[in-house]
Amino acid sequence: MRRILILNGPNLNLLGSRKPETYGSTTLGELDRLCADWGAVHGLEVETFQSNHEGVLIDRLHEAREDIDGIAFNPGALTHYSYAVHDAIEAIELPVVEVHISNIKERESWRAHSVVTPACVHTIYGRGVDGYRWAIEHLVQREARPPRALAYATGDSHAGDLRLPDGEGPHPVAVLIHGGFWRHHWTRDTLDGLAVDLAARGFATWNIEYRRVGMGGGYPATLQDVAAAIDHLDELAAEYHLDLQRVVVIGHSAGGQLALWAANRHRLKEDDPGAGPRVLPGAAVSLAGVTDLEVAEATNLGDGAVAGFLGKAPRDEAYRVASPIHSLPVDRPHVIVHGTHDDRVPISFAHTYVEAARRPGTKVELIEINGADHFDPIAPTGPAWAAVVERLTAL
């Protein structure tokens, strides 16, 4: 990928002054410069274009066939009714990521529906202007090693991206579980970089989606989805030459909690919302994970994230089943990775968990990354990820 287009639709010229409480204070000019910087990280040339006119935007989409490799597109209000824009995206046969600054699923009901989503390769919303950075990242990683998007059950959130390494296999498997405090505007694209990096290192990667809070997820549905996604490897193994005796599960943030649960669910037995694992991970890695749901809820971590995830579930049961520190011991080796400068999930969660896990003799290792923040562990070129990679073969 050499050249990408950042395309913005109606009213986005007013960024910074129009409803800053919803769209932020970043101006369009500032956003254009940010996108150029984010693209430069990957050696990309970034073109930016904005128009308030549907036909002009469609013309620019058509022109993109000549000189553009991928597009990040915020159609504005055209999102919700312009089938002409949908058809244009479909016709140009370029990868287009739909981007929205605000959380369109939690505003007026008419904003929740997008007619352009089916024509796009991915949709990112509710992450502020940083959503454009994630869109650029997705385009880059998608081209680097294209995924096979496979359903593991019916429903929009029941899918995963399978990437295969070179060679015939059988391939060891890394199951990737994204974070985002279980909320629906965070999706599996955040682990694209790790998936591509691991595939280049010889792992088949299964980057899974699951129902999140606000989209039918929460306890126990989210756990059931993670279990079903991992067990689905049993159906994929023969066709894609997967070695189910070498499976590691890796999760970030809330995904760290889900990864530790997945590696221990066989011990929970009657408490297991996923009921009877067919595929059992041999090891787990938690990257900046939420390892104690009780403390996280008591301290209002993520502005009520745990309360949203657990809903009305009885807390004694929910903590015992879903909270990693409450379900010790774990009979799988696992690694806890955390940055000292994590301001979203404090490193005290890692310290407390590892201390508790070591008491009954659980094989656990703490990797503390000096100066790292919450997202540094999922940067494939960073020191936190390098430390994980060193240990994966042994795990």
Classify 395 as helix, strand or coil: coil
Q: 28: which 2 tokens?
A: 């369009």
Q: What is the pLDDT of residue 81?
A: 96
Nearest to 179 by CA among 228, 221, 213: 213
Tell me: pLDDT of 275 over 70. no
Q: What is the pLDDT of residue 333?
A: 94
pLDDT (mean) for 22-46 = 96
For residue 258, give every residue at least 6 positions away whose Cβ sits within 8 Å of its Cβ, in sequence order, or none: 177, 210, 222, 223, 226, 251
Q: Single out the residue in 97, 112, 139 at which a domain terminates.
A: 139
Q: What is the DSSP letter of 254?
A: H
Q: Single out the residue in 86, 121, 139 at which a domain terminates.
A: 139
Q: What is the pLDDT of residue 270?
A: 47
Tell me: pLDDT of 273 over 70. no
Helix (H) or strand (E) segment spanning residue 345: none
Q: 350: which 2 tokens?
A: 């890692």
Q: What is the DSSP letter of 72?
A: E
CATH code of the domain covering residue 82? 3.40.50.9100
Share of the chain above pLDDT 90, in %: 90
Q: Among residues 23, 125, 132, 353, which one is catalytic? A: 23
For residue 29, give every residue at least 6 positions away whose Cβ sits within 8 Å of its Cβ, in sequence order, or none: none
- Specify whether 23 is catalytic: yes
Q: Quick one: 119 and 154 in the same domain?
A: no
Q: What is the pLDDT of residue 277?
A: 85
pLDDT tens string 128-183: 999 999 999 999 999 999 999 999 999 889 999 999 999 998 999 999 999 999 99
**Which residues lie across from 8 on neighbouring strands?**
50, 74
- Specify whether 100 is catalytic: yes
How far from 146 is each of 6, 30, 168, 175, CA to CA, in Å?
21, 31, 18, 17
Report how far apart the first and last C-alpha atoms of the chain are (Å, whole number).
Answer: 34
Q: Quick one: 43 and 173 in the same domain?
A: no
Q: 294: which 2 tokens?
A: 């009780």
Q: Would you state the torsion angle of the CA atoms of residues 272, 345, 373, 395, taken in this order, to the nearest 10 degrees?
A: -30
CATH code of the domain covering residue 340? 3.40.50.1820
Q: What angle do CA 144, 148, 154 make, to 5 degrees?
A: 145
Q: Single out the residue in 107, 139, 171 at which a domain terminates.
A: 139
Is 194:176 a contact under the CB 8 Å cutoff?
A: yes
- Rg over alpha carbons for the chain, rounded to the nearest Å, is 21
Q: Quick one: 249 and 170 in the same domain?
A: yes
Q: Quick one: 250 and 188 in the same domain?
A: yes
Q: Which structural domain range is residue 25 located in?
A: 3-139
Is the pTM of the predicted complex or chain greater than 0.85? Answer: yes
Classify 160 as helix, strand or coil: strand
Q: Quick one: 190 and 133 in the same domain?
A: no
Q: Quick one: 299 and 349 in the same domain?
A: yes
> Using CA atoms, how far apart are residues 152 and 271, in angstroms rounded to an integer?
23
Q: Quick one: 186 and 242 in the same domain?
A: yes
Q: Quick one: 198 and 313 in the same domain?
A: yes
How far from 61 is each of 66, 67, 93, 144, CA to CA, in Å?
10, 11, 10, 23
pLDDT tens string 293-348: 999 999 999 999 999 999 999 999 999 999 999 999 999 999 999 999 999 999 99
Q: 34: which 2 tokens?
A: 């940010």
pLDDT tens string 81-99: 999 999 999 999 999 999 9
**Which residues lie across from 70 on neighbouring strands?**
4
For residue 288, give every residue at least 6 positions away whose Cβ sits within 8 Å of its Cβ, in sequence order, or none: 179, 252, 253, 256, 337, 338, 339, 342, 344, 345, 374, 375, 377
| Strands 171-177, 242-252: pairing kind | parallel
Is 139:1 a contact under the CB 8 Å cutoff?
A: yes
Q: Quick one: 217 and 126 in the same domain?
A: no
Confidence class of residue 272 from pLDDT cuts 50, 70 and 90? low
pLDDT (mean) for 346-351 = 98
Nearest to 309 by CA among 322, 299, 298, 320: 322
> Using CA atoms, how far apart are residues 237 and 274, in angstroms rounded to an integer?
20
- Number of domains observed in the structure of the chain: 2
CB atoms inside a 10 Å sphere around CB 158: 18
Length, in residues, of the chain? 395
Q: Quick one: 88 and 186 in the same domain?
A: no
Q: What is the pLDDT of residue 274?
A: 58
Q: Quick one: 387 and 239 in the same domain?
A: yes
Q: Among residues 53, 80, 83, 100, which one is catalytic? A: 100
The whole-chain average pLDDT of the chain stands at 95
pLDDT tens string 109-143: 899 899 999 999 999 999 999 999 999 999 999 99
Nearest to 181 by CA among 271, 284, 306: 306
Q: Quick one: 245 and 380 in the same domain?
A: yes
